[in-house]
Amino acid sequence: MTVGAGVARPFQIVADSGCNLPPWLIRRFDVATIPTAYYAKGEPRVELLYDAGAGFNADDFYARMISGENFTVDSLDSSTCERFLTPLIEESGGDILFLFSSSEVFSNAESIQLYFDEMTSRYPGRNFIAVDTLSVGLGFGRLLMQVCELREEGASIYAVAQWLKNNRLGVCQWFLVKDGQKLLHVNNSGKLYPPVETARGNTLLDAYRHRSKRPYYQHSPTIVHASNIDAAMYLAAQLDEHFELTKPMIYDIEPGLGSKLGPGALGLIFWGGPR
């Protein structure tokens, strides 16, 4: 895929850890990440940090939720950026493209933009661009991987940012929650659409069948789960049987999204038609 033309100057891609990519992919694509802060409800309030570049213990996190613990996640805003992103900006010395989780779920887009306006004033001659992915978890991660590939092809920071804005609604994100009794998805505004009652069965397969779209159809979907590996493996087998999609990648759902979906959640992420 080629975007733009000419020689582009290098730039750093930074993402919040809601992108849900495992550490080996973070390293593969040379992405800088800032952590997600979350807390177990109750006193004392102890901050826990999840950094996608370091990974997390999914078994322990979801075991705590299953035992009755509830978690809250800090919104990503200008104060979070000042705390975690400013050191990266100072160290980089170059242009920065920052991708962040949906402002309808985890982030304050207006606050983040004010922060980036301040960085532009503080460091004249450098480019700072922040883009709301309108996605969560591995939906965000799929966009991030595509953006990194465009950078590797030599696209400029402006061309990559524009591609992201033009294509971010092409990632479909569907989740089964509440022991498979409710289905929800990320809609066009980036919201986790309110769950609706659904019958047990091939609901995620139906979503893939109706929403997957060429030229991305051949790109295998990604399966995510919250301490539900058996269901994830079953879904992988069903995708193979019905669509001949062998060996889809399977990942744990990161703490931010996991705290909202709950243990047992199962998700399917893929390129497709309009949400």
Decide which of 3.10.450.50, 3.40.710.10, 3.90.870.40, 3.40.50.10170 is the CATH code for 11-168: 3.40.50.10170
Model confidence at 2, pLDDT cuts 50, 70, 90, reads very low
Domains 11-168 and 170-271 share a fold: no
Distance from the Cα of residue 113 to its chain's centroid = 19
Q: Are 20 and 138 in contact (CB under 8 A)?
A: yes
Are 25 and 17 in contact, with CB atoms under 8 Å apart?
Answer: no
> Which of 20-29, 35-44, 134-143 is predicted with the least confidence, judged by mean pLDDT?
35-44
Per domain, the residue ranges of the chain are 11-168, 170-271
CA 241, chain centre distance (Å): 27
> pLDDT-based confidence at 274, cuts 50/70/90?
low
Instruction: Give 202-261 pLDDT, tens digit per residue.
Output: 578 888 877 776 544 446 899 999 999 999 999 999 988 888 776 788 999 999 999 999
Q: For the structural domain made of 170-271, what CATH number should be given? A: 3.30.1180.10
Q: Please say if the pLDDT value at position 107 is more than 70.
A: yes
Q: In what order do the strands lie in the sheet with 95-100?
A: 32-34, 11-16, 95-100, 128-132
Place of tokens 């509830």: 70
